[in-house]
Amino acid sequence: MAQSLTGLLLGSGIQRQRELNDQLQIKLNENRELAKALVVSEEHTRHDVARELHDEVGQTVTVIRTQASIIKRLTTQQPVLTSAEMIETAALRVYDGVHDVLAKLWPAALNNLPLSAAIAALMRELIPQDQSVLGVLNWQVNDHPMDETLKITLYRICQEGVTNAYRHGAASRIEINARQDNQQIYLTISDNGKGIDLASITPGYGLRGIQSRVSAFGGNVSLSVDNGTCLNVTLPTVSLSTKGN
């Protein structure tokens, strides 16, 4: 009798533990889907802001330059000519500054290029083309079809990883390797530098930002600092919501 009661209680406890584990997994998936939705919302906002800045500031700068050019044609007074040239130069600086901000807000390359080509363009942009630093890209990930949020997440990770390697790693070689199987994407960003001092990296759109984005997809991030820095990221190729269907 006692053994039967013990077995019954044990079975009930195991069943309860399974139910709690299932509930915990459901909540974990819900939290990840919420985090992913926040990433999607953030990227949409950044895209909208970038488009508005491009349209509004671009048009305004064009008007300013046009007016400065008209003034230069209509006057022979040197002080006025000098002022018009200064206005034109300032307008160009504003445009260049906004262009840099736009590139950070939304990578225009993703609008019309495959992800691999966009990453290659990113490396050319971030790494000096004077042969002081060699950039190597080995991209074996098919982005057709690919979740758009996953695509921008991979781009942001590469953007942050290469930036950190160049600014903080004192490397002469920065390498991106990406491959995939039926379930996972494996991304590695490595360099041969001195190794990043983790305390020197500003939080935000740094490693913490990468961790948040990867966690939203149910992926993993690891960072090793030994004979350079190596950032390893694993991301599922199928979204959590799709798995749940």
Separation of alpha carbons 131 and 135, rounded Å: 9
Minimal CA–CA distance to 218: which of 4, 39, 15?
Answer: 39
Domain 109-244 architecture: 2-Layer Sandwich (3.30)
What SS3 state is found at 239?
coil
Minimal CA–CA distance to 186: which of 166, 157, 207?
Answer: 157
- Report helix angle 2-74 to 78-105, nearest 10: 160
One digit per residue, pLDDT tens: the chain, 245 residues?
555 666 666 667 677 777 777 777 676 666 666 766 777 777 778 777 877 887 788 888 888 989 999 998 888 899 889 999 999 999 888 888 887 788 778 888 888 889 999 999 999 988 888 878 999 999 999 887 788 888 889 999 999 899 888 887 788 999 999 999 988 999 999 999 887 766 655 554 477 778 888 888 889 999 888 888 899 999 998 654 444 44
* Dihedral Cα 119, 122, 126, 132, nearest 10 deg: 60
Q: 109, 117 in Cβ contact below 8 A?
A: yes
Token pair 């022979």 is found at 76
pTM confidence score: 0.71
